[in-house]
């Protein structure tokens, strides 16, 4: 290796060492400044907290009605905001009463769900729907007991119970369950 190459390598090493020393100094200065800023911020927050507490205590002593009135107003505003909230959720579905007629065609619809894949349960006896009676094995298992929403059905019988509640016997019109019958609540028809 020639002397010129050795000198260039030596110069490069010196430059690198100088750059490292300068970087260390800058980092040390930044850390020191950050510590000072944090100390100042902590002092300011603690002084502000002490000032607020002392002002509230002074207001409590001098005019407690204003203090408690302000607290009450703040609580009412917060409560009002909580009651008015709700975001962008759609409203809950409401069952609409329709005039049912025997022999008419309707579609099954689960009124108590947002899930488009939910099924409508059909049972063999109308009273078992009221208690959601699972004692009958035949009602829980077997084909055509949980029908998808939108299935076309024809009303073959209507039975009133409990005042306004109506149970309807429906016969499936389409699909693999065509011709089979089951009972459901009238609200499940659309």
pLDDT digits (tens, 9 = 90+) for 94-121: 666 678 889 999 999 887 777 878 888 8
pLDDT of amino acid 139? 52
Whole-angstrom distance, CA of residue 157 vs CA of residue 1: 107
* Cβ 150 vs Cβ 161: under 8 Å: no
Whole-angstrom distance, CA of residue 59 vs CA of residue 171: 75
Is position 92 within any domain? no
Task: Mark whether 116 and 150 lie in a shared domain.
Answer: yes
Residue ending a domain, choose from 52, 84, 116? 84
171 CB-contact burial (10 Å; exposed 0-12 / middle 13-18 / buried 19+): middle
Q: Reply yes or no on whether the pLDDT at 132 is more than 70.
A: no
Whole-angstrom distance, CA of residue 27 vs CA of residue 55: 42
Task: Mark whether 130 and 66 lie in a shared domain.
Answer: no
Higher pLDDT among residues 142 and 41, named by residue: 41
Is position 20 within any domain? yes
**Model pLDDT for residues 25-71, shown as the tens digit of each residue:** 988 888 888 888 888 888 887 777 778 888 888 888 898 888 888 89
37 is in which domain, residue-wise? 3-84
Is position 114 within any domain? yes
Whole-angstrom distance, CA of residue 127 vs CA of residue 184: 10
The single residue listed with the structure tokens 């290796």 is 1
The count of domains in the chain is 2
125 CB-contact burial (10 Å; exposed 0-12 / middle 13-18 / buried 19+): middle
Q: Where are the beta strands (DSSP E) in the chain?
A: 105-107, 119-121, 146-148, 152-161, 165-172, 181-185
Q: What is the 3-state composition of the chain as percent helix, strand, coil, each rounded to the nearest 5? A: 50, 20, 30
Residue ending a domain, choose from 50, 84, 118? 84
Identify the weakest region by mean pLDDT among 55-69, 84-98, 123-137.
123-137
Q: Reply yes or no on whether the pLDDT at 142 is more than 90.
A: no
* Cβ 122 vs Cβ 183: under 8 Å: yes
Is position 129 within any domain? yes
Task: Mark whether 50 and 111 lie in a shared domain.
Answer: no
Q: Mean per-residue pLDDT for 115-143?
A: 67
Share of the chain above pLDDT 70, in %: 85
């Amino acid at each position: 290796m020639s002397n010129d190459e050795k000198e260039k390598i030596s110069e490069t090493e010196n430059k690198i060492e100088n750059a490292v020393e300068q970087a260390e100094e800058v980092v040390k200065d930044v850390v020191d400044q950050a510590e000072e800023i944090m100390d100042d911020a902590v002092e300011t927050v603690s002084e502000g907290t002490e000032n607020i507490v002392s002002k509230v205590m002074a207001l409590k002593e001098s005019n407690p009605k204003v203090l408690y009135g302000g607290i009450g107003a703040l609580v009412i505003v917060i409560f009002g905001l909580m009651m008015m909230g709700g975001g962008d959720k759609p409203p809950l579905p409401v069952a609409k009463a329709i005039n049912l007629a025997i022999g008419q065609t309707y579609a099954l619809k689960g009124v108590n769900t947002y899930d488009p894949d939910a099924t409508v349960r059909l049972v063999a006896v109308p009273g078992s729907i009221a208690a959601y009676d699972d004692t009958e094995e035949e009602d829980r298992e077997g084909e055509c007991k949980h029908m998808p929403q939108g299935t076309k059905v024809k009303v073959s019988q209507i039975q009133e119970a409990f005042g306004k509640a109506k149970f309807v016997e429906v016969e499936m019109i389409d699909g693999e369950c065509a011709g089979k019958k089951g009972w459901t609540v009238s609200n499940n028809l659309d």
